[in-house]
Structure 1
Amino acid sequence: MTVEHIWRGAFDNAEVDALHARGFGYAPGDAADVWGRVNDHSLGWVCARRGDELVGFVNVVWDGGVHAFVLDTVTDPRLRRAGIGAGLVRLATERARDAGCRWLHVDFEPHLEPFYLRACGFAPTRAGLIAL
């Protein structure tokens, strides 16, 4: 399996919606304007492609300064544990560093701790959250 990780790679909204549905376990059909959102608000994003198929995606938003944030890292469930997700985060980290960011943040659920802390190299921190 050859997977290419592409910074600011082209995608269409329907394929990201389908990948999010498979990866996060909900019915497809939201097809929001992800392309418009990432172009308006993000430092960048990474697409993982196996041929023409989108098999991974992560969004990197930022504050316009030194803080960047990894959002919605997703890998096709059929291909998990093959290094695709870690590759997404690795390229996101490199590009955030290249852009002058000094910090890359991520929030995650407890079951994802091994992925983010071990596979991706994040350090645990204390943080606060208000559920809106």
Structure 2
Amino acid sequence: MTITYEWRGDFDDAAVDTLHAEAFGHVQENTDRQTRVRRHSLGWVCARSGGRLVGFVNVAWDGGVHAFVLDTMVAEDARKTGVGTELVAAAAHGARAADCEWLHVDFEEHLRPFYFDACGFGPTEAGLLALR
């Protein structure tokens, strides 16, 4: 499988919604993701195999030096092949090129080996307040 990665690549909402359902186990409908990411994100990375979207990650930011990895998603048939790691590496490259100094990520415990071992993130103390 040959994969290409594109910073701020074009994408179809339906294709990202399909990836979201595979990655997170639930469907998000009528997300208008394109409008949201173009308005609020530093960038995003699209991974494609033969034109099909097989990976996506959003990179939000504070408009300054902090960028945030959100919603790393890989199609089921492309998992365990390095696609997720390359998505995050491309996200880090894009954030670095925009002069960000920090790339943050929050994740569930089962993703710790992916983000720490495969992607090179380090542990930090952080807080989280549930609003719902």
Q: Percent identity?
A: 61
- Residue 34 of structure 1 aligns with which residue? 33
- Residue 74 of structure 1 aligns with which residue? 73
Task: Give the 5 Å matches for 1:89-104.
Answer: 89-104=88-103
Amino acid at match of 2:80: R
- Residue 130 of structure 1 aligns with which residue? 129
TM-score (norm 1): 0.96
RMSD (Å), alpha carbons: 0.9
2:16 is equivalent to residue 16 of structure 1: yes
Q: C-alpha offsets along residues 55-92 of structure 1, whole Å, 9 cap, x if unaligned? A: 00000000000000000001112211100000000000
- Aligned partners of 1:35, 1:29: CA distance in 2, in Å? 14
Amino acid at match of 2:96: R
Residue pair 2:66, 2:101 contacting (<8 A) in 1 also:
yes
Specify every segment of 5 or more residues in structure 2 that has no aligned partner in the other structure, as ranges: none
Q: Give the 3-state SS of the residue equivalent to 1:125 in structure 2.
A: coil
Runs of 4+ residues over 4 Å off in structure 1: none
TM-score (norm 2): 0.96
- Residue 115 of structure 1 aligns with which residue? 114
Amino acid at match of 1:4: T
Q: Give the 3-state SS of the residue equivalent to 2:107 in structure 1.
A: coil
Q: Give the 3-state SS of the residue equivalent to 1:126 in structure 2.
A: coil
Q: Give the 3-state SS of the residue equivalent to 1:5 in structure 2.
A: strand
- Aligned partners of 1:25, 1:93: CA distance in 2, in Å? 26
Shift of 1:29: 5.4
- Aligned partners of 1:128, 1:25: CA distance in 2, in Å? 25
